[in-house]
Structure 1
């Protein structure tokens, strides 16, 4: 069984398709997500926009961005369905939880580095309430500064 991951789905619908068709397409995707026990985190309809390059005979398209949490099988099914729908010009599915994990690891590493540096200076690993920025961290920069005037 696959674990739930977060994905971002972007699809472009032909500009000739009415808004009702875009809403129906979203409903179809929503039914697939429910069938595979996934969840919608966010849906944004960016509306009709000019594309960077022509796709087929189309210069514009209606962009829709959806953030979905679910399994890999769910995303395979959505990909399969979007490939056969004629009104969808292009679609892209990207796994975004990897980027969040990398950012979290970077933040954790930075906190660990700061805590080690503070301990090496004889300070507690975490800032204490009332300890302002620069207070206590750079004491060695100010040693003897009063007598040099």
Structure 2
């Protein structure tokens, strides 16, 4: 009988503490339920131009990679060396933008370059919702002037 009473008492205490935890953890001050799951996110857009540093000419077909906390997006420059990088669902900053010449000798072999953007380096164009969404951010002048690769051109 004593074991049965202790078992029932333990279950009752567990149920009460669970209920208190759920009610206290999932409510906003002033009422309402607050869901505490998800991933902080934002929207990031960068515009830029890639040129050859020596000739100042635009460079087409350069791979542009935007990377942040394991998430990445890849685009290529157009015939005028311009690119627009759109990243949705990123967690935060810094955002690293890397440019690589991956077409071999077509562009004359250029040295890769990168930049790491902090929140202070971008303009917020849309406010967040005060919860998990931080808003939208943009960088208009994310330009690169790539140097020719002397090692490759010497071969």
Query: What TM-score do you get using the length of structure 1 for normalisation?
Result: 0.31
Q: Which has the higher strand share?
A: 2
Query: What TM-score do you get using the length of structure 2 for normalisation?
Result: 0.30
Q: Which has the higher helix share?
A: 1
